[in-house]
Structure 1
Amino acid sequence: MNPQLTIAQKSVSKVSRLINQIFEQTAKLSQAQREETERFDIFYAQIETEIAKEILYAYPDHTVETKLTGVHGPAHNKSYWYVSGIVGKQNFLGGNADFAVSVAYMVDDKLMAGYVYAPMSQKTYMAVKNEGATLNDIRIRLPRHSGRISDALLLTDARSLRKENVMMTAHLHHLSLGVRVLGDEALSICEMIEGKASAAWLNAFDPCDHLAAVLIAQEGGALATDFNGNEVDISAENAAFATPKLLKPLLQSIHQAKR
């Protein structure tokens, strides 16, 4: 296995039992208690700190940026990690098992390795640049598509249900076979590469949450761009994922809906 993926797997395995324990305890809380997100943030920070500590133990000269706890290790490093302790926070708090841990590794702002782990289903998605994408060590690749949006099942993020985005979501739902919101963008993108959907779009892009899934998508045969067709990078504000044939119709439909 790629050495960076080995470290990602090792670091996440050390916190997976803790994640499972907290998830089981959270499921027993009342709705009011679940809305006290300060308790979740303490746990979230603990996960990210432990993952960062393990990465820096192996690579003390690297930099690790986590979603909640910020930068660990030396700053402004060409070897850079992006970590999210839980992608799909609302699912986790609601007792929904669709959440994941995300770890991405970059060198000179180029994605080199991506690791997404779903603790409850024990699904491990991995990718190494130019080596393809896998699910539990089995190669996965996005199936071919006709390129017609009317033949596409789409996935998106929870922001698509907000007032400012709901008209666009309704438009895409009308044009396609349907739109689904799973509540975990990283898992949504990975499951798309499995063939469970045709394309996906995100109204907001977060490097810690999404970069690992970007590489898994790219290595699994999808294109990953922002809404203007530029390749996704750490500065992206939004993102779209699809086969080469389907990407242009998807982006055109998004822009039509925004008019």
Structure 2
Amino acid sequence: MNQFIERTQLIQEWIYDAAKLIKSSFEENLDIQQKSNRNDLVTNIDKAVEKQFIEKIHQFFPGERIMGEEGFGDEFQNLDGIVWIIDPIDGTLNFIKQQYDFAIMVAVYEDGIGQAGFIYDVMQDKMYSAHKGKGAYCNKKKLPPVKDLSLKEGLVAISSALMSKEEGLARLVGRASSGVRLIGSAGIETAHVASGQLIGYIAASLAPWDIAAGKIIAEEVGLIYTKMNGSSIDLLQKNPSLVATPTAHKEIIMLLNTKK
């Protein structure tokens, strides 16, 4: 465990450096490319940030494997050993359209178990972090264990993809809650659940880099993070995902089963 705590200062320095690079691009004309669809975009800045992280990891931690959203890392068939999972800009569409509500996310896993996770809300200057068994923090202030609120007692975030593809399901969960919020960044939405602003977040399909850091932080404050059917997250593939307070988690899964 100590080795992961010792990495914290380096990782946070790298994240702040990446944030400076991102902010410096606000006045530039971005090179924007479409990936799977018109809402799934990548910019030259996403790529530059990921490459910057990979160079630093190779320099300080040679031999450790890296999974990155933009494909500059390693190929994976397993999560053996120490694995870094990086999302250079989580919420790229927000970054392009709003210059707001996007995050940098870094996680370190060992043999498939999350050891350290970081979500940096760039424009709010909020660094959410956690080490396994050591609690979760926001800007060095320890986050308390979440209140185990029910679905009706809190707000729930639902991904835009789920809202459009599973309208009935989203309406069902939304009506049972106090209200629905959409941000467009899995990291920030998960951080808001971990800090008690939301009681749950549901997404149709999250990639490993959308999940890895947030899962560590969420579990350190007592949240449950699983696939939407309640089974374990698989960090080698995309997952229909649900993170929520224990009570809300049970209620949402019951609602999803009712929908079927």
Q: Deviation per CA, 1:19-72, whole angstroms, max 9, x where unpaired? A: 0111x226xx7xxx8976599532211110001111121100101111012424
**Are 1:142 and 1:220, in contact at CA under 8 Å, matched by a contact in 2?**
yes
Opposite residue 176 of structure 2, the aligned amino acid is L
Matched, 1:200 2:201: yes
**Are 1:61 and 1:74, in contact at CA under 8 Å, matched by a contact in 2?**
no
For 2:182, the equivalent position in structure 1 comes to: 181
Helix, strand or coil at the partner of 1:83:
strand
For 2:167, the equivalent position in structure 1 comes to: 166
For 2:45, the equivalent position in structure 1 comes to: 43
Whole-angstrom distance in 2 between the partners of 1:112 and 1:74: 19
**Are 1:60 and 1:73, in contact at CA under 8 Å, matched by a contact in 2?**
no
Aligned-residue RMSD, C-alpha: 2.4
Please, which moves more after superposition, 130-139 or 240-249?
Answer: 240-249
For 1:88, the equivalent position in structure 2 comes to: 91
Change in CA separation of 1:143 and 1:131 when aligned onto 2, cut-off 3 Å: same
Deviation of 1:8 (Å): 1.9
Whole-angstrom distance in 1 between the partners of 2:167 and 2:13: 40
Change in CA separation of 1:75 and 1:97 when aligned onto 2, cut-off 3 Å: same
Helix, strand or coil at the partner of 1:85:
strand
For 1:152, the equivalent position in structure 2 comes to: 154
Q: Map of 1:1-259 to 2, 5 A cutoff?
A: 2-22=5-25, 24-25=26-27, 37=34, 40-72=42-74, 78-147=81-150, 149-162=151-164, 164-234=165-235, 235=237, 237-257=239-259, 259=260
Whole-angstrom distance in 2 between the partners of 1:17 and 1:105: 22
Deviation of 1:174 (Å): 1.5
Helix, strand or coil at the partner of 2:73:
strand
Helix, strand or coil at the partner of 1:168:
helix
Change in CA separation of 1:125 and 1:198 when aligned onto 2, cut-off 3 Å: same
Opposite residue 118 of structure 2, the aligned amino acid is Y
Whole-angstrom distance in 1 between the partners of 2:58 and 2:75: 7
Whole-angstrom distance in 1 between the partners of 2:154 and 2:72: 37
Helix, strand or coil at the partner of 1:251:
helix
Q: Deviation per CA, 1:151-192, whole angstroms, max 9, x where unpaired? A: 231012221232x22221112111211111101011101111
Helix, strand or coil at the partner of 2:105:
strand
Q: Percent identity?
A: 20
Helix, strand or coil at the partner of 2:93:
helix
Whole-angstrom distance in 1 between the partners of 2:227 and 2:167: 19
Q: How many residues align?
A: 250
Please, which moves more after superposition, 118-127 or 234-243?
Answer: 234-243
Please, which moves more after superposition, 47-56 or 245-254?
Answer: 245-254
**Are 2:54 and 2:73, in contact at CA under 8 Å, matched by a contact in 1?**
no
Q: TM-score, normalised by structure 2?
A: 0.87
Where does structure 1 lack aligned partners over 5 or more consecutive residues? none
Structure with bigger helix share is 1
Whole-angstrom distance in 1 between the partners of 2:140 and 2:252: 30
Helix, strand or coil at the partner of 2:184:
coil
Where does structure 2 lack aligned partners over 5 or more consecutive residues? 36-40
Whole-angstrom distance in 1 between the partners of 2:177 and 2:17: 41
Whole-angstrom distance in 1 between the partners of 2:208 and 2:33: 26
Helix, strand or coil at the partner of 1:238:
strand
Opposite residue 118 of structure 1, the aligned amino acid is D
Helix, strand or coil at the partner of 1:51:
helix
For 2:38, the equivalent position in structure 1 comes to: none
